[in-house]
Amino acid sequence: MPTTASRSAVRDGEICSLDSDGRSEFHPLMFRRETRPFFYAFDLLAVDGEDVTRLPLLERKRRLRAIVPRVSSRLLYLDAIRERGTELFRLACELDLEGIVGKWSRGTYQCDGRRTSWLKIKNPPMGHVASD
């Protein structure tokens, strides 16, 4: 299989920096502070010119895993955690993270703004507030 560098792909993900504990944080990026950004890829829209948005999520993630380097880099693969959403949300709250995103494992990628196959579940009592 060709390496990531030789393949073209449109990935969906999020850019963030990591704190000393490895937790994502966005404030250094928002305020353009010196930081080392990472891109967490969590979905794949196209690869080598092929539109894969109509494929089920788990197939898109399988293809995404195949093209994201497994060695340490600034491009990171974010794996699916299946059937443990409640446990994951509880942990996100304990760690004072923003929340989690749930996606239908058989869902297609919806990008028309009217329909969606995902749900963002926020941690309402975020314990810390940036003081910038």
Can you give the pLDDT at residue 50?
95
The first and second tokens of residue 83, run together, are 């059937």
CA–CA gap between residue 20 and residue 10 (Å, rounded) = 30
Instruction: Name the residue ranges covered by the structural domains of the chain.
Output: 4-122
Can you give the pLDDT at residue 129?
45
The answer to whether 108 and 44 are in contact (CB under 8 A) is no
CATH 3.40.710.10 fits 4-122, yes or no: no
pTM score, two decimals? 0.77
Question: For every one of its 132 residues, what pLDDT tens digit does the chain have, with 9 covering 90 and above?
Answer: 444 554 799 999 988 888 888 777 777 777 877 778 889 999 999 999 999 999 999 999 999 999 998 887 889 898 888 888 899 999 989 988 888 888 888 999 987 766 677 888 898 876 444 433
Q: Is 109 helix (H, G, I), strand (E, B) or coil?
A: coil
